[in-house]
Amino acid sequence: MPFIPHTEADIQAMLAIIGAPDIDTLFDEIPQALRCGELEKIPQGMSEMEVGRLMNVRARQDGQPLCFIGAGAYDHHIPAAVWQLATRGEFYTAYTPYQAEASQGTLQLLYEFQSMMTALTVMDVSNTSLYDGASALAEAVLMAVRANRKSKSKRILLPRSLHPAYRRVVHSIVRNQGIELVELPFDMESGQTDPEGLEQYAGEDFAALVIPQCNFFGVLESVDELTDWAHANRMLAVAVANPVALAVLQPPGEWGEQGADICCGEGQPLGAPLASGGPYFGFLTCTQKLVRQMPGRIIGRTLDLDGKTGFTLTLQAREQHIRRSKATSNICTNQGLMVTAATIHMSLLGAQGLERVAAACHANTGKLVKALSGLPGVSPVFKGAVFHERVLRLPLETKDALRSLAAHNVLGGYDLSADYPELGNAVLVCATEMRSDEDIEQYRSKLERVINARIQTPCKLKPDW
Amino acid sequence: MLIFEKSRAGRRATAQAPLQESDLDGLPQQFRRRQSASMPEVSEMQVVRHYTQLSQKNFSIDTHFYPLGSCTMKYNPRASNSLASLPGFLARHPLAPETHSQGFMGCMYDLQEMLKEATGMFAVSLSPAAGAQGEFAGVAMIRAYHDARGDDARNEILVPDAAHGTNPASAVMCGYKVREIPTGGDGDIDVEALKGVLGPQTAGIMLTNPSTVGVFERRIKEIAGLVHEAGGLLYYDGANLNAILGKVRPGDMGFDVIHMNLHKTFSTPHGGGGPGAGPVGVSERLEPYLPVPMVAQDGADYVWLTEDNRAESIGRLSAFAGNAGVLLRAYIYARLLGRDGMHRVAEFSTLNANYLLKRLTDAGFDAAYPQRRASHEFILTLKRQARELGVNTMDFAKRLLDFGVHAPTTYFPLLVPECLLIEPTETEAQDELDRFVDSMTAILQEAQNDPERVKSAPHDLPVRRLDDVRAARDLDLAWKG
Ligand SMILES: Cc1ncc(COP(=O)(O)O)c(C=O)c1O
């Protein structure tokens, strides 16, 4: 029996001790009428070899195309040691470190993670993960509404230049608590949050302003001005940041005069494979003042009975298992293993390695943009400086271009036309350090072919360039 | 020693970073970081040694018996990990087009179908990232259902006093008030008390079955009838699905919406705290509200269902499709088990729990509900030992660590004093259960003869009992150099 160690003799001996004639008797408290029969629609079990065959076919089916999509999930190199260590059984098959003395490995690692995240973001404290970047932002919004003592408002300013999926997730998670999200427009020329769009809300009561760095278009926001504006208007400043970008970008703790109050984001670039969108992890750091409003697990360093240093879950009075309906969040199981990988990843790379990765991504996206912009009708949409993604305008419908490219096994970027129809035929492209010059040339030449094919059949062409 | 303390300025693990040295010319100075983050500077071998040594300070399923009640710490098949980590699965970008996703989507579709069958629900969405997010989704669907009918005076969710803390916390996140209902002396919820609180304000009730006290809620059909009569819906917390897989299905018990914890019942790893996966299943009337994305079949192709084609959905709960890698592991496990393997999960987890309960009560421990069958887990109360010997549940738990056993869940559910919630799971052999009984017996003897030894445990672990009060008072949450 797969994974079940009992021999027939064991079963009989155990039943004899229980005093039951057979296993079925052990279910005698379940009303007979409720019992189900065979689970007919579930197939019969397979051997490991057979399941292996099935999964190999399916994994190969998706073809590993050349990927220039970023849009919240980035293809970075993950050092071999990261997952070899993270999948050690002692990490992989432990659970939440409730028994601190038997979990010092996980606990110390998490303390190190908190230390790395506070260093990267230059904030005082970090939790040990939320589900993903988008749900972390939803938690940050809830936290801001609870924490902002200067404001009674349940309204939040959220830029339209923020990842569309993040805006949707925040909406789904906070709407039932009567929190209202007010969208800030972006400047069509720079791609940054529009200062005029912001000014119309000056003096109004909002709990927080959300500031993405970089924003969904890859464009860098004027974070100092935005942070100061938020504080001048009694709002908390909530940063949404890419951790790899933070290796080279001004950290949220230093934005403006006082720094951001809360920083959150997607941890995936720190050692999690793309893997169809998860598991990744959300991170959240904040100022010391807000620590008691934080959601999620927090680890503290303390002493044992002999005065020896050790680590333990702390500030648990914020959490659901103690506070129940008054907890700061309902989160229990988090993304611990991804945090394990991220901590090992950051240790291996160090600040300098992360800076190198960030610079390589920045340079490669620059090369990609340059190569593609040489094609007829292709040009950057925004003037603002970018980190490692940029919006390009195409001379044909984005959907058609991407479909043709995909047929050539190139994933050419994220189609912006559904989320941002005002941008026309626009695509968001990204080249991480993983994309070589040859990869970029492949993309260029294939897009050239696609464009040429369209130009020869001009009836399908939209004359918007 | 922290990894930071092994750091030496200028030391690098250079093979890890790109050799390419690029400049940041396109990044205007105003946006740049002025000072590098203070991260460790260590070699690759130092990193490997440091984290290998840290791992060795953990208890885990792979190294220790781990009967942590309510968490289903059973063996996590290695095949699930290696097959979910095939290069094609790891490389797939979440926004890859459907043409390049059919293999992955096929697995997700199959998993949806298998979970529907295993739970007796009408439809399933895989997207919630863990149990608590599944609860949030489920209660949000209950709310969407009432709202769509204009039935918006319902502002209360009922939760048994024994419920897991995530239940009330999730209800509050959905904007509901929470009202607790008491558990009767036999472990079933107090149906008379329930009748007293049901009314036009009732949006729904959240139940775990078998409940968190480790027994099957026998009057579940009657409860379902009462709640439905009052216009409320029933939510099933699937944390204990392991106990009933292939025996009785939440859909047949009358539940309208459920979540499953795939990191429990479907044996995906707990990873030192996560990740999990908390798919939700619903009856027909709640189907429009399921969270997106979901996978559907369109002829021979798999297609995504999103906000665009599911207007009434409660929406999206994570940026992409939830914890895809966890879902793949659960799928692989389900294919390895198949139909018969699922029945066996319930049978052998129940056999092990009842065996362990009998042996422990024979050894002098008190069951919290002695007149009841155990489900896949059960509760002991050490109230008597605490009173007579001055040795409490926490002391027993800590002393168990010295015996090489991860402690069971302690002090949950809150209503049973001095309790241990013990869940052996089906993957443990009789000899391991016997060893646990021996350890408990030895500790009981020690508590009689040398109580200090128990009260000051653990003795043989990397640290002794930690000062939690100090940790919360003198907060030290990050290394400051
Ligand atoms: C009974 C019960 N309900 C809900 C949960 C919450 O699930 P999760 O930790 O996956 O969020 C748990 C487990 O931790 C549980 O034991």
- Let me know whether A334 and A384 are in one domain: no
Look at residues B9, B112, B8 and name the one whose alpha carbon lies nearest to residue B334. B112
- Let me know whether B359 and B376 are in one domain: yes
- Let me know whether A335 and A365 are in one domain: no
- Let me know whether A375 and A302 are in one domain: no
For residues A101 and B462, is the Cβ–Cβ distance under 8 A?
Answer: yes
Q: Which residues line ligand 1 (CB under 6 A)?
A: A 332-333; B 70, 130-132, 164, 166, 208, 212, 237, 239, 261, 276, 278
Dist CA B293 CA B295 (whole Å): 7
The alpha carbon torsion through A206, A212, A217, A221 (nearest 10 deg) reads 90
Which residue numbers in chain A have pLDDT < 50?
Answer: 460-465
A173 inside domain? yes
**Site of tokens 């030290």:** B476
User: Which regions of A174-319 does DSSP assign to beta strands (E)?
Assistant: 180-184, 208-213, 236-241, 262-266, 282-286, 298-303, 309-314
When scoring A284, A308, A330 by the number of chain B Cβ atoms within 10 A, the one with the most, hence best to mutate, is: A330
Dist CA B191 CA B182 (whole Å): 9
A16 inside domain? no
- Let me know whether B248 and B364 are in one domain: no
Encoded tokens for B42: 């260590």
Which atom belonging to ligand 1 lies closest to the Cα atom of B132?
11
- Let me know whether A328 and A374 are in one domain: no
The C-alpha angle with vertex A410 and arms to A404 and A411, in degrees rounded to 5, equals: 90
For residues B386 and B418, is the Cβ–Cβ distance under 8 A?
Answer: yes
- Nearest Cα of chain B lies from the Cα of A199 at a distance, in angstroms, of 22
Contact B2 A105 (CB under 8 A): no
pLDDT at A464: 43
User: Which regions of A153-269 does DSSP assign to beta strands (E)?
Assistant: 155-159, 180-184, 208-213, 236-241, 262-266
User: Which regions of B122-231 does DSSP assign to beta strands (E)?
Assistant: 123-125, 156-160, 177-181, 202-208
What's phi and psi for B392, nearest 5 deg? Answer: -100, -175
pTM: 0.97
- DSSP H helices in B241-317: 250-253, 262-265
B84 inside domain? yes
Protein residue with least CA distance to atom 8, ligand 1: B131
- Let me know whether A195 and A90 are in one domain: yes
Q: Does A22 touch chain B (CB under 8 A)?
A: no
- Let me know whether B195 and B281 are in one domain: yes
Dist CA B296 CA A274 (whole Å): 22
When scoring B312, B463, B467 by the number of chain A Cβ atoms within 10 A, the one with the most, hence best to mutate, is: B463
A119 inside domain? yes
Backbone torsion region of residue B246, taken as left when φ is above 0, otherwise alpha when ψ lies between -120 and 50, otherwise beta: left
- Tally of domains in chain A: 2
**Site of tokens 């994220």:** A414
Pairing of strands A389-393, A426-430: antiparallel
Q: State yes or no: cis peptide before A2, omega within 30 of 0.
A: no
A185 contact partners, CB below 8 Å, separation of at least 6: A160, A193, A194, A197
Q: Helix crossing, B166-173 with B131-148: angle to 10°?
A: 40
Contact A58 B479 (CB under 8 A): no
Q: Helix crossing, A437-456 with A398-407: angle to 10°?
A: 120
**CA A19–ligand 1 middle distance (angstroms):** 32
Residue % of chain B over a pLDDT of 90: 97
pLDDT at B388: 97
When pLDDT is averaged across residues B434-458 and rounded to a whole number, the result is 98
pLDDT, tens digit, for every residue of B373-389? 999 999 999 999 999 99
A2 inside domain? no
Query: What CATH number does the domain containing B182 carry?
Result: 3.40.640.10
Smallest Cβ–Cβ distance between B102 and the set A62, A116, A362 belongs to A62
- Nearest Cα of chain A lies from the Cα of B448 at a distance, in angstroms, of 23
A223 inside domain? yes
- Domain residue limits at B447: 345-455
Q: Lowest mean pLDDT: which of A293-297, A452-456, B213-217, B276-280?
A: A452-456
DSSP one-letter code for B290: P
When pLDDT is averaged across residues B160-186 and rounded to a whole number, the result is 97
- Domain residue limits at A196: 80-344
Residues 301-360, chain A, touching B (beta carbon < 8 A): 301-306, 308-312, 314-317, 319-327, 329-340, 343-344, 346-360
pLDDT, tens digit, for every residue of B102-133? 999 999 999 999 999 999 999 999 999 999 99
- Nearest Cα of chain B lies from the Cα of A437 at a distance, in angstroms, of 12
Query: What CATH number does the domain containing A365 carry?
Result: 3.90.1150.10
**CA B131–ligand 1 middle distance (angstroms):** 5
- Let me know whether B306 and B366 are in one domain: no
pLDDT at B64: 98
pLDDT at A463: 45
pLDDT at B23: 84
Residue % of chain B over a pLDDT of 70: 100
Cα B17 to its chain centre, rounded Å, is 36
